[in-house]
Amino acid sequence: MKLPPLRRRRSRAAVRIEPSRLTVRDTVGEAFAGVLQRPARSALTALGTVLGVGTFVAVLGLTATTSSQIDSRFNLLTATEVSVEDIAREKNTFAGPGFPADADLRVERLNGVRHAGVLYTVRLDSNAGGVRAAPVGGAQGGGERTDVVAASPGALQAAVPRMAQGRLYDEYHSRTRQRVAVLGSGTAARLGITTLDTRPAVFIGTEPFTVIGIIDDVERKADLLLSVMVPRTTAEDIWGPPEGTGTTMLIATDIGAAQQVARLAPTALRPDHPEYLKAVPPPDPRTLRSGVTSDLEQLFLVLAGICLVIGAVGIANTTLVAVLERTGEIGLRRALGARGRHVTAQFLAESGALGALGGLVGTSLGTLTVVGVAVIRDWTPVIHPATVATAPLLGLITGVLAGLYPAGRAARIQPAEALRR
């Protein structure tokens, strides 16, 4: 018996099934239930993201913190250092030395100059015997060459030395051409000179020099620690004036005066031929800071990226294993009406939750690392708020990307096949 058209339409409406739905609340709840079901494995899975995000935050924070310290150190040393090079022979083959005999006094009259002096490496005859601590025998030091530096008293003071023993030679020694020497700590150890109580001497070739001081450290011109320093006037009296290039003047200035001193020094030294001298001012501190910051960021961000990749692989592997273990559960959900996109959303939510938790923990550890290093070094910690805000989001994105393949594979599982397993 056929039903009337109206009743037939009502019967079809009565057996109509509403499509299944998965709310955001249910998705989040299922995700955290899956994460907390195996807490130990979830913690190990999130460890890679923790390391990656923590390294990311620590790198950016430490880079910003160290960059803020560059200005102060730059001002104390590099920003107060000017060097002047003798290029007279490059300009004129027949020109004599570019620096006059009273070069130190001329430059020290400039406003803002603290100390200034000329220095150069003495060219010794290869048959002279080198530097030794005894009047006879070959050069000491295991065959290593020891440089002899002719330096004005002002040049040694501009290097900011810290004395281990004795003293520096002064203007009296330079004016009277005394045969005295100051040793760097490395050279003193090489020659076996450990004390000045015995009034030791060194022999440069056949010329004896009384050792009056041993320098333990310098803030500028670290190569002086491996040299023997003698007064410039004494060196010129014994070996003659320097030949060719290589003579420089080291100038220590007040903070902020370096650029002006660099402009005025060539004219003050050689008003007749200022082009014979080349002044080298300190570099721009902003350029130096940006260069150091860029190098640090590039180096350590690569490390952070590697850690994030390792974390993503760990999350993907664990999520894929979870899909295989829960095949029956997935099939039951599909049989009860869950759609493929619902299964995808569930597993993406789980991997995203692992990434977000790892990002939060990594952000905390990275911030604590920056603060800890700053406290130990007595620095002011600097962390940009945007770094702290975006780091957990970076962990979330890493987790979601890692879960794309496992979630897609779970969505393709057929209910009948899953229930047979």
- Say what the pTM is: 0.55
Could you write out the DSSP letters of every residue in 346-404? HHHHHHHHHHHHHHHHHHHHHHHHHHHHHHHHT------HHHHHHHHHHHHHHHHHHTH
Statement to judge: residues 143 and 231 lie in one domain:
yes
Statement to judge: residues 259 and 190 lie in one domain:
yes
What confidence category does residue 390 fall into, taking pLDDT thresholds of 50, 70 and 90?
A: confident
The last residue of one of the domains, among 247, 272, 297, is 272
Task: Report the pLDDT value the prediction gives residue 1, as an integer from 0 to 100.
Answer: 44
Is 336 inside a domain boundary? yes
Under 8 Å between Cβ of 261 and 282? no
What confidence category does residue 101 fall into, taking pLDDT thresholds of 50, 70 and 90?
A: confident
Q: How far apart are CA 417 and CA 421, in angstroms?
A: 7
Asked if residue 369 has pLDDT above 70, the reply is yes
Note the pLDDT tens digit of each residue in 222-236.
889 999 999 999 999
Statement to judge: residues 300 and 407 lie in one domain:
yes
Statement to judge: residues 107 and 206 lie in one domain:
yes
Kindly state the average pLDDT of the residues 337-363.
79
Statement to judge: residues 206 and 254 lie in one domain:
yes
Statement to judge: residues 173 and 30 lie in one domain:
no
Residues in the chain: 421
Is 18 inside a domain boundary? no
Is 267 inside a domain boundary? yes
Q: Name the amino acid, one letter, at 156.
A: L
Kindly state the average pLDDT of the residues 329-348.
71
Which DSSP letter does residue 208 get?
E
Write down the mean pLDDT value for the chain: 79
Statement to judge: residues 232 and 334 lie in one domain:
no
Statement to judge: residues 37 and 144 lie in one domain:
no
Which range is most confident: 130-134, 160-164, 364-368?
A: 160-164
Kindly state the average pLDDT of the residues 179-195.
92
Which DSSP letter does residue 130 get?
-
Statement to judge: residues 179 and 266 lie in one domain:
yes
Asked if residue 340 has pLDDT above 90, the reply is no
Is 103 inside a domain boundary? yes
What confidence category does residue 415 fall into, taking pLDDT thresholds of 50, 70 and 90?
A: low
Task: Report the pLDDT value the prediction gives residue 15, as an integer from 0 to 100.
Answer: 52
Domain range for 176 is 96-272
Under 8 Å between Cβ of 99 and 249? yes
Q: Name the amino acid, one letter, at 214.
A: I
Asked if residue 142 has pLDDT above 50, the reply is no
Statement to judge: residues 32 and 180 lie in one domain:
no
Statement to judge: residues 212 and 348 lie in one domain:
no
Q: How far apart are CA 184 and CA 141, in angstroms?
A: 13
Under 8 Å between Cβ of 367 and 388? yes
How would you class 80 by CB atoms within 10 Å of its CB: exposed for 0-12, middle for 13-18, buried for 19 or more? Answer: buried
Q: From its phi and psi, is residue 378 left (phi > 0), alpha (psi between -120 and 50) or beta?
A: left
Task: Report the pLDDT value the prediction gives residue 16, as an integer from 0 to 100.
Answer: 57
Q: How far apart are CA 7 and CA 2, in angstroms?
A: 10
Task: Report the pLDDT value the prediction gives residue 120, as an integer from 0 to 100.
Answer: 93
- Looking at the structure of the chain, the number of domains it has is 2
Place of tokens 């999520």: 319
Residue, of 143 and 359, whose pLDDT is higher: 359
Is 323 inside a domain boundary? yes
Is 296 inside a domain boundary? yes
Statement to judge: residues 242 and 292 lie in one domain:
no
Task: Report the pLDDT value the prediction gives residue 154, as an integer from 0 to 100.
Answer: 94
Is 277 inside a domain boundary? no
Is 324 inside a domain boundary? yes
The last residue of one of the domains, among 237, 272, 307, is 272
Could you write out the DSSP letters of every residue in 248-272? EEEEEE-TT-HHHHHHHHHHHH-SS
Task: Report the pLDDT value the prediction gives residue 182, as an integer from 0 to 100.
Answer: 96
